[in-house]
């Protein structure tokens, strides 16, 4: 079976429709997202062009007859040529030492451009970029991918003047909101959220985590292969998180199995919408994985006031990337005082009690230990 929209064979069942004629099985294309039934598939398959592997619905052709979009529909020969070039480009990126995630991002951008432009013509790509309803940062990413694609072909171009703009999160969730979201999600999504909350890892780093990286005896998680050229890190985590990880299936080498980033994000979107409605808190519906990483970095700097420590915990190679958490901490905690409550411990028992209630060790003086806690 092929998708009548794009010709892909990556088809899965997507529920049933009940009609006067009885139950009709519905299908979903994993590549383009087109939903169809078996009857509509057979009908459109016969009506489509017979000399093309990329079947185009006859109704779609009729709607596009008087538009310029019909001219952009890629034929069988051109489509095979584009796919062949993208495959060669992927091998080129591998030889250049690029990471698999980078290669997937570049190929996804080029496929998106190929839908509305002739990727062999830079002017056609510029025109397509100008009409795209996406953010300017996304267009910058497309330009980078296309520039490397042209370099692979031995060509160059004069790229449009799009500028990447740094963005700060519009809000930071509270710890209570994050805990509420974790409590309402399924076991695997909740474990992902708790892992990011305690370590500040990226979602891709969490999904690549293997069982060998988790030390249940020492309460330690080791991230040996970080994303985006970041530094490897070691985290000491809570018994609660290790318990949640221990309940995951061990059928595969990875802690979260074969779960992909898109699947994780889709599960989170569904859960947070339901939880936000249940708790009457629309802020929860805006929480995403990377926002919790921002929360971790901001709270860590708020507690330690040590930017280099935050940099190492987040894996940043350049401390300028950590500067945003200083700005966020100053903005979100400007109303709080930097005054401390100071306690003195003369015995191990007194020091233990102070640490249990949140005091942190400062220094020794006259044989006694000084502890402090922010008011």
| Total domains, the chain | 4
- Do 195 and 236 belong to one domain? yes
Residue carrying structure tokens 């502890």: 371
pLDDT at 222 over 80: yes
pLDDT at 355 over 90: no
Domain closes at, from 35, 53, 72: 72
In the chain, what percentage of residues exceed pLDDT 70? 86
Q: What is the pLDDT of residue 375?
A: 65
Q: Which pairs with CB-CB distance under 8 Å and at least 24 residues apart come from 45-48? A: 45/2, 45/4, 48/4
Domain closes at, from 52, 72, 92: 72
Tell me the pLDDT band of 245, cut-offs 50, 70 and 90. very high
Query: Three-state SS across the chain?
Result: CCCCCCCCCCEEEEEEEEECCEEEEEEEECCCCCEEEHHHHHHHHHHCCCCCCCCCCHHHHHHCCCCHHHHHCCCHHHHHHHHHHHHHHHHHHHHCCCCHHHHHHHHHHHHHHHHHCCCCCHHHHHHHHHHCCCCHHHHHHHHHHHHHHHHHCCCCCCCCCCCCCCCCCCCCCCHHHHHHHHHHCCHHHHHHHHHHHHHCCCHHHHHCCEHHHEECCCCEEEECCCCCCCCCEEEECCHHHHHHHHCCCCCCCECCCCCCHHHHHHHHHHHHHHHHHHHCCHHHHHCCHHHHHHHHHHHHHHHHCCHHHHHHHHCCCCHHHHHHHHHHHHHHCCCCCCCEEEEEECCHHHHHHHHHCCCEEEEEECCEEEEEEEC
Confidence (pTM): 0.66
Query: Is 4 within the bounds of a domain?
Result: no
- Do 182 and 315 belong to one domain? yes
| Range in 28-32, 90-94, 201-205, 277-281 with the lowest mean pLDDT | 28-32
- Do 223 and 302 belong to one domain? yes
Query: Is 313 within the bounds of a domain?
Result: yes
Q: What is the pLDDT of residue 41?
A: 47
What CATH code is carried by the domain that includes residue 116? 1.10.150
Q: What is the pLDDT of residue 40?
A: 57
Q: Which residue has the higher pLDDT, 226 or 290?
A: 290
Per-residue pLDDT reduced to its tens digit, 6-30 = 778 888 888 887 776 677 888 888 7
Q: What is the pLDDT of residue 272?
A: 95
- Do 51 and 118 belong to one domain? no
Domain closes at, from 49, 72, 95: 72
- Do 110 and 18 belong to one domain? no
- Do 138 and 83 belong to one domain? yes
Query: Is 160 within the bounds of a domain?
Result: no
In which domain, by residue range, is 257 found? Answer: 175-332
Per-residue pLDDT reduced to its tens digit, 276-290 = 999 999 999 999 999
- Do 310 and 194 belong to one domain? yes
pLDDT at 61 over 70: no
The CA distance from 236 to 295, in Å, is 18
The CA distance from 100 to 296, in Å, is 27
- Do 67 and 87 belong to one domain? no
Per-residue pLDDT reduced to its tens digit, 172-199 = 999 999 999 999 999 999 999 999 999 9
Q: What is the pLDDT of residue 271?
A: 94
Q: To the nearest whole number, what is the mean pLDDT of the chain? A: 84
| Range in 8-12, 76-80, 93-97, 231-235 with the lowest mean pLDDT | 76-80
- Do 195 and 269 belong to one domain? yes
């Amino acid at each position: 079976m092929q998708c009548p929209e794009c010709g892909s064979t990556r088809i899965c069942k997507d529920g049933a429709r009940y009609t006067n004629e009885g139950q009709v099985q519905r299908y979903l294309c994993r590549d383009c997202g087109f939903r169809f039934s078996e009857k509509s598939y057979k009908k459109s398959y016969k009506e489509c062009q017979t000399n093309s592997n990329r079947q185009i619905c006859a109704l779609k052709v009729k709607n596009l007859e008087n538009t310029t979009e019909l001219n952009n529909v890629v034929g069988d020969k051109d489509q095979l040529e584009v796919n062949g070039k993208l495959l060669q480009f992927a091998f080129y990126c591998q030889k250049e030492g690029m990471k698999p995630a980078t290669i997937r991002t570049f190929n996804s951008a080029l496929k998106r451009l190929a839908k509305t432009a002739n990727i062999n013509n830079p002017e056609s790509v510029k025109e397509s970029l100008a009409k795209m309803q996406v953010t300017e940062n996304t267009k910058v990413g497309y330009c980078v991918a296309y520039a490397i694609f042209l370099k692979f072909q031995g060509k160059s171009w004069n790229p449009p003047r799009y500028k990447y703009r740094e963005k700060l999160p519009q809000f930071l969730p509270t710890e209570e909101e994050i805990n509420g979201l974790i409590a309402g999600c399924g076991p695997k999504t909740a474990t992902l959220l708790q892992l990011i909350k305690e370590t500040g890892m990226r979602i891709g780093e969490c999904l690549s985590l293997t069982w060998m990286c988790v030390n249940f005896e020492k309460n330690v998680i080791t991230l040996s292969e970080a994303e985006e050229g970041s530094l490897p890190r070691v985290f000491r985590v809570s018994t609660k998180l290790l318990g949640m990880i221990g309940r995951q299936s061990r059928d595969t080498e990875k802690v979260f199995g074969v779960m992909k980033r898109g699947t994780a994000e889709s599960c989170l979107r569904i859960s947070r919408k339901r939880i936000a409605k249940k708790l009457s808190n629309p802020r929860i519906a805006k929480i995403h994985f990377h926002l919790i990483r921002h929360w971790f970095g901001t709270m860590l700097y708020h507690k330690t006031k040590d930017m280099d420590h935050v940099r190492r915990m987040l894996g940043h190679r350049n401390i300028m990337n950590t500067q945003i958490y200083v700005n966020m901490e100053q903005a979100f905690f400007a109303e709080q005082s930097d005054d401390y409550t100071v306690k003195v411990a003369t015995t191990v028992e007194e020091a233990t009690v102070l640490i249990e209630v949140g005091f942190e060790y400062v220094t020794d003086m006259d044989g006694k230990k000084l502890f402090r806690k922010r008011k």
